[in-house]
Every structure is written in structure tokens, then in C-alpha cells.
Amino acid sequence: MWDWISKLMELNKQNVPFAFLTVTQSGGSTPREAGARMIVLSNGENFGTIGGGTVEKMAIDKAQEYIQQGITKLFTCQLGPKAAQCCGGVMEILIESFNTGPALYVFGAGHVASAICQVLEETPFRVHLIDERQEILAKINSPFVSKLSDKWENTLDTIEWSDKNCYVAIMTHDHALDLAILSQMINKPLLYLGLIGSNNKWNTFKNKLKVEGLTEDDFANVKCPIGLAKSGKAPKEIAINFAAEILSIHYNRDNYE
């Protein structure tokens, strides 16, 4: 049996949109029985098989359609003339779309990041926490959060960044680390790039980034301070304000693209 669990985890970590296909029922003469699984990417690349041939091609086409729509739906395939099959059987395939909604990558797993994870539970956002300090990550226990303990430099190379659904917030324990991450993220295709801190911190960062050749046009992509409006300084207050900001962007994207 192929290791579909590891492949799912790999694609989820990389924020790659994909569909997971599972044969839920089969009747009559069919190429695979219930339980057969397959993964399909948005470009049609696939892993595993649910039977091959025209039936599988129809399922792949349908999976690409569902990924584009970001939906999960049952697909019933009759193995008759339309499928270029004479078996006469029926296959019911559950096609589940993943990684099609907004993804928030938070660099730093401190108090504010922990509060953000709580506030964004049961929203469309998939939260990914990035921090080398495994002991800090271990304190955050939520089924809605993916925790990445690799070095941040390595993380940048494993994620498929997209200006359609990627949000980034930088809030580490070290200003020098914040600056290093920001300098690498500032020109990536993102829908949102936020830096926690004050106007003074942002002005200091801009002066340092100008030495690296960045311009005011580059700085326009950065939101600092984060949040919709001025708020209190307690972690939960900052988290609520920030969550309101990115939820507003998500639900009113036409104004931000």
C-alpha cells in the first residue's frame, strides 16, 4: 500500500492545493474496490490510482474542477459507454479539496501568536506556526494549527507562496530575526505581509532595508503596526484586532487585489 498519509502531510506543509479521492462505494464490475485512494494536484499531477483508464481521467478532471472551486463533493461514475467501458459497474468517489482557502504563516510562537491561534479557530484560515524553539511550540496545542519547527530559512523553500491565499505575520522574540525574515519575505507573492511592532520599529527597519536596496514601493507591501485600528497591548487584544484585519481582507478581497 502506498504511503498516502505522508504525501498528504507533505502537501499540507507546503500549502499545495490538492484533492484527495476515495472510492466510497463500488458495484458490479469495477477496476477498484471501496477504499482505493488517489491524490490529484491542481495541474493534474497525481499519486496513487483508483483504477486507471478513462474512469480515472474523468475523476482527475473532476478533481481539478473541485480544487478550483474549493469544494468537497461526491462524484458518481457509470462504467458504461460514456466512460469507454463495457464493465457496467458503478463507482462512487468522494473528492475532498484541501489547501484551497487562506493560509496564515506566523513567524514566532510567542504570546500574541498563541492568542491568534485561538482567535482564528473555526474560521476559514489555516494557521501555520514557524519557530525553531520546539519547547515553545509544544505549549500550543490546537488541532487547527500546523507547527513547523525547522529553521525559518528552510521553511521559505518548502512553501508554495501565493498572492491568492497566503498571509504572513512576523512576530518573533528577536527584532534582528524579524528584520532578517522580513527582508526575505518582502518581495514574495503574498496577499498580506504584517510585522508586529510600533511605527518607530517600522521606520528603523525601513532605514536598514534601504541599505539593502529596497524602496518605498517595496515597503508598501508591509503592514506595520498590524490590525484594523489602534488597540490595547494585551496579546488577546492584539490577536482580535489582527484577526479582524485579515478576515476583512479575506471577505473583501476585491478591494485588496
Dist. CA 163–CA 188, nearest whole Å? 8
- Say if residue 257's pLDDT is above 60: no
Report pLDDT for 89: 76
The pLDDT tens digits of the residues spanning 69-115 come to: 889 999 998 775 554 554 557 889 999 999 888 999 999 999 999 99
Determine the pLDDT at residue 88.
58
Q: Tens digit of pLDDT for each residue in 16-71?
A: 899 999 999 887 666 678 889 999 999 999 999 988 888 889 999 999 999 988 89
- Residues 138, 230, single domain; the answer is yes
What pLDDT is recorded for position 81? Answer: 52
Omega prior to 102 cis, within 30 of 0: no
Last residue of a domain, one of 37, 70, 98: 98
Are residues 164 and 70 in contact, defined by beta-carbon separation less than 8 angstroms?
A: no
pLDDT-derived band at 1 (thresholds 50, 70, 90) equals: low
Task: Report the DSSP beta bridge partners of residue 169.
Answer: 106, 194
Please provide residue 194's backbone torsions phi and psi, each rounded to the nearest 5 degrees: -115, 145
Q: Are 167 and 93 members of one domain?
A: no
Question: Other CB atoms closer than 10 Å to residue 154's CB: what's the count?
Answer: 11
CB 173 within 8 A of CB 147: no
- Give residue 102's Cα distance to chain centre: 6
pLDDT bin (cut points 50, 70, 90) of residue 195 is: very high
Digit-coded pLDDT (tens) for 125-158: 989 999 999 999 999 888 778 888 888 998 888 8
pLDDT at residue number 254: 52
Domain that holds residue 207: 103-255
Domain boundary among 98, 128, 150: 98
pTM: 0.75
Domain end position, chosen among 98, 113, 136: 98
Residues 247 and 130 placed together within one structural domain of the fold: yes
Confidence of residue 238 (pLDDT cuts 50, 70, 90): very high
Choose the weakest-confidence range: 24-38, 146-160, 169-183, 217-231: 24-38
> Is the same domain home to 192 and 208?
yes
Residue with cell 520546539: 134
CATH number for the domain including 243? 3.40.50.720
Maximum distance among all alpha carbons in the chain? 72
Mapped onto helix, strand or coil, the DSSP state of residue 132 is: coil
Q: Nearest Cα to 17, choosing from 75, 74, 102?
A: 102
Q: Which three cell numbers stand for residue 162?
A: 501565493
- H-only helix segments in 70-214: 111-119, 134-137, 152-158, 175-185, 199-211
**Confidence class of residue 177 from pLDDT cuts 50, 70 and 90?**
very high
Coil, strand or helix at 63: helix
What's residue 85's pLDDT?
A: 55
